[in-house]
């Protein structure tokens, strides 16, 4: 009996047994399946948003499942959104990260981790070396050229006791580009800045660093997200970078922390019996932001569409819900 799929489109001499969900190529064996992936660059995944000329029950169920998947992703992102705010600490934090956070806290610094999906989280290889009793950082340095171009460089296992100047020189020594040679000869005429965190307009505000001091001394009393991010700027461009002092940053952080604490207290329920005779001052509640949700009806409700409706009508009603 001849296969309804016809002959294999890869070897062309054997009856086909399989159809690829992605490109609909007919194949006869595992070897031909692998060969078709190499030829067509197909990963075997069906395109859920591809145009379908006719809607049948199989397509209908598939589209409904696709919308349910989208709804789960949207609702999951809203639940995670409350955690992803500044100071997010993943629940499954590794022991190495816990030791690192403790060591950073002992050095009068603050360290925050990002969710594991973020690139900065994946790039971070910082850890606390128990034998040397020292933090070995992942350091990000962005070199800003005079032509307004920037070059980002990462260095891992940077010992905290090393002078900042030596750390930057070590990064430049591994680069063979023309821009690196410029900074090698003119590093003394450059300003080193640390990216500010946890303050307003943090991406545009920086702390002035001392190249002669160690990495630990420069980071003392600062807040970091994953690892230190430095900017090396020629003095001719230094005016374009707004600097902030530690005292100004501490004041802003304390103000922000106080406001966050007040917001949490406003949301906490108050026991009338333990609240005392004095009534708390009335505070106007902040408007609750409405979260857009995908209102997908139950599948059984969709199936109640009149049976005499043709497939086009069913499709139109389904996608207009």
Q: What is the mean pLDDT of each run of 10 residues along the chain (321 residues)?
A: 78 89 88 89 82 79 84 71 48 81 89 85 91 92 85 91 90 83 83 82 80 90 89 86 79 75 65 42 46 63 57 46 42
7 neighbors 16 (Cβ within 8 angstroms)? yes
User: Which two tokens mark 280?
Assistant: 């708390």
By CB atoms closer than 10 A (0-12, 13-18, 19+), residue 85 is exposed
What whole-number distance in Å separates Cα of residue 242 and Cα of residue 247? 15
pLDDT score, position 128: 93
Dihedral pair phi/psi, residue 267, rounded to 5° = -85, -15
pLDDT score, position 24: 84
**What crossing angle do the helices spanning 164-173 and 178-186 adopt, rounded to 10°?**
150
Output the CA–CA distances (angstroms, integers) from residue 77 to 74, 183, 226, 240, 296, in the order listed: 5, 43, 22, 36, 17
Residue 284: HSE in the Cβ half-sphere, 13 Å Cα cutoff: 1
pLDDT score, position 84: 46
């Amino acid at each position: 009996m001849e296969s309804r799929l016809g002959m294999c489109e890869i070897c062309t001499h054997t009856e086909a047994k399989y159809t690829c969900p992605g490109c609909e190529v007919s194949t006869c064996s595992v070897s031909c399946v692998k060969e078709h992936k190499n030829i067509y660059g197909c990963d075997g995944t069906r395109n859920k948003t591809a145009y379908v000329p006719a809607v049948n029950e199989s397509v209908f169920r598939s589209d409904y499942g696709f919308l349910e998947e989208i709804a789960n992703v949207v609702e999951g992102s809203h639940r995670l959104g409350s955690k992803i705010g500044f100071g997010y600490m993943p629940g499954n934090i590794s022991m190495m990260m816990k030791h690192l956070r403790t060591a950073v806290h002992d050095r009068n610094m603050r360290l925050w981790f990002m969710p594991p999906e973020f690139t900065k989280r994946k790039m971070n290889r910082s850890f606390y070396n128990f034998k040397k009793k020292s933090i070995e950082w992942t350091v990000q340095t962005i070199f800003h050229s005079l032509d307004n171009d920037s070059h980002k460089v990462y260095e891992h296992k940077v010992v905290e006791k090393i002078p900042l100047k030596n750390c930057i020189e070590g990064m430049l020594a591994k680069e063979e580009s023309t821009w690196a040679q410029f900074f090698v000869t003119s590093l003394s005429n450059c300003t080193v800045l640390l990216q500010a965190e946890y303050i307003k307009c943090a991406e545009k505000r920086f702390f002035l660093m001392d190249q002669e001091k160690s990495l630990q001394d420069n980071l003392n009393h600062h807040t970091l997200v994953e690892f230190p991010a430095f900017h090396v700027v020629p003095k001719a461009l230094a005016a374009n970078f707004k600097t902030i002092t530690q005292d100004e940053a501490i004041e802003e952080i304390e103000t922000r922390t106080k406001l966050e604490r007040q917001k949490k207290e406003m949301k906490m329920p108050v026991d009338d019996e333990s609240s005392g005779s004095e009534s708390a001052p009335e505070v106007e509640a902040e408007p609750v932001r409405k979260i857009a949700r995908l209102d997908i009806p139950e599948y059984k409700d969709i199936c109640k569409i009149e049976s005499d409706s043709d497939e086009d009508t069913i499709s139109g009603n389904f996608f207009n819900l």
